Amino acid sequence: MASESVPSFRAHYRATEISAHYTGWGHFALTSTVCLGTVAFALTRLTAPTAIEWLTVPATFLLANLVEYWGHRGPMHHRTGPKKVYERHTLQHHRFFTHESMAYEGSRDFKMVLFPPVLLGFFLGAIAAPIGALLFVLATPNIAWLYVATAMGYFLTYEWLHFAYHLPASSPLARLPGLAFLRRHHTLHHDPAQMGKANFNITFPVADLLFGTRR
Ligand SMILES: [Zn+2]
Ligand SMILES: [Zn+2]
């Protein structure tokens, strides 16, 4: 699979997978607006949360970090999970971008980084909403809304950070504090020799540290 060069893979992908109607900035704006809108709405529902209820934020963060790690280390890099997930990540994302060619060449290339809108709908409708509803009934409304706000905030952080890792190194955004470290972490994961072994966290390498896969 490593036989095809990045330029020829990119040319083929752009010609066959990116529709003429696709706009990268529209995709970016949709993801950002839906997530920020959900976080803002959830925060307006809070009524004086207690210290215990605020613990929902770090607990959800940690859980999301583990889900990100295992989702990426598992189905995104193994054929054992859903076929589409493996295809899109290992066979497309990792061939479109390698450690030597990490940057977009135009906004239409955002398609190869941001989750498709249908998956955004899945995260919202099949993960955030039902677990939030369950917490609403089994725990407290504050815990439910803090969970929804943190989960959607985490998802958007994932999207924004991953988006920033694939910006050209000359971009002012790429030079934000802390971002250089995270960009290096993800760039190493894009080395075809390392992608199945190291740096599976896309956001903060907490689970990589826990499981000894940080390089
Ligand atoms: Zn990437
Ligand atoms: Zn990967």
Instruction: Tell which residue, 151, 144, 62, has the closest CA to residue 70.
Output: 62
In a domain, 10, yes or no: no
Q: What average pLDDT does range 166-181 have in this prediction?
A: 91
What's the total number of domains in the chain? Answer: 1
In a domain, 15, yes or no: no
**Residue-range definition of the domain harbouring residue 196:** 23-210
Ligand 2: centre distance to CA 126 (Å): 23
In a domain, 156, yes or no: yes
Q: Is the full-model pTM beyond 0.85?
A: yes
Return mean pLDDT, the chain.
94
Q: What average pLDDT does range 192-213 have in this prediction?
A: 96
Ligand 2: centre distance to CA 134 (Å): 32
In a domain, 92, yes or no: yes
In a domain, 160, yes or no: yes
Ligand 1: centre distance to CA 54 (Å): 32
How far is it, in rounded angstroms, from Cα 23 to Cα 29? 10
Q: How does pLDDT run across 69-116, given as a tens digit for each residue?
A: 999 999 999 998 889 999 999 999 999 999 999 999 999 999 999 999
Q: How does pLDDT run across 26-45, given as a tens digit for each residue?
A: 999 999 999 999 999 999 99
Name the DSSP letter for residue 98.
B
pLDDT score at 177:
86
How far is it, in rounded angstroms, from Cα 32 to Cα 205? 23
In a domain, 215, yes or no: no
Ligand 1: centre distance to CA 114 (Å): 10
Helix H segments across 24-116? Answer: 24-44, 51-54, 56-73, 83-86, 94-96
In a domain, 96, yes or no: yes
In a domain, 158, yes or no: yes
Q: Which ligand lies nearest to the CA atom of residue 189 in the structure?
A: 2
